[in-house]
Amino acid sequence: MAASPFEVRTLSDRLMEVVRDMILTGVIEPDVPIRQDALAADLNVSKIPLREALVRLEQDGLVVSHANRGFFVRGMSATEAEEIYELRLKLEPDAAAQACLAANDDQRAVAQRMLAELDAAAAAHLPSVGPLNRAFHMALIQPGGRVLTTEITARLHVMADRYVRRHLEGNDRHLTAEAEHREILQAWMSRDAKVVRRLVAAHLEHTLRDLREEFGNVVASEGPVTGRSRKRV
């Protein structure tokens, strides 16, 4: 048997990241049973750590298990998007506002670098857009030192990742997101907590309105949406 590609790092952690990326990029499709034997063979690992990874991904809200049927990727829906963004609205504006006052020079440099990398990836429609968007938003929050808020927000961002990716796939949608991100970062770098709070809230509210418009009718008539959306992040 060939050497596992996950031996360099902790197997469980690395495997969870790999499977999560496969879910977020659509390699593993929603509402289709995850064939653990085949996936374990493809990844050159045993089924035990793979199952552990799937259980952890279920805790993150990306996977759901059904008795006697196994694991499935959760489908996307307006209902889920609504809840994700409403929770983000309760946490992120205040957290980013507090963090801008506490950030040191190194943390401020990280936020600038994350936005530059995100803009470049979005313009090129690279698959790294989702993680970079998450990294930028988290860079605005982490300096605040609010551990529970940071952990909960990070989980919400993982759940929002599929929506972010599909939003940025639309023509020039990344330009709107880029402008909003740049305005937020400018206020954050200026330590203007009041403006940061307002801009972050507006950014999330814009996205939520777009998601309501795009998915609402479909969810009401057909159930979960698994297709591709084309709106702002």
Amino acid 216: pLDDT? 60
Question: H or E segment at 66?
Answer: strand 63-66
At 227, list the tokens.
Answer: 């297709």
CA–CA gap between residue 46 and residue 112 (Å, rounded): 41
Here the tokens at position 121 are 């990836």
pLDDT at 185: 98
Determine the pLDDT at residue 111: 98
Indicate the SS3 state at residue 91: helix
What DSSP letter does each residue of 174-214 carry, written as one string? Answer: HHHHHHHHHHHHHHHHTT-HHHHHHHHHHHHHHHHHHHHHH
pLDDT for 230 equals: 35
Provide the pLDDT for residue 25.
78
Q: What is the pLDDT of residue 144?
A: 97
Q: Which domains does the chain have, with CATH numbers?
A: 11-73 (1.10.10.10), 78-222 (1.20.120.530)
Maximum separation of any 2 CA atoms in the chain, in Å: 58
Q: What is the mean pLDDT of each run of 10 residues along the chain (233 residues)?
A: 48 85 85 89 90 89 86 87 94 98 98 95 81 94 96 92 72 80 98 98 88 61 42 39
State how far Cα 178 lies from the chain centre. Answer: 17
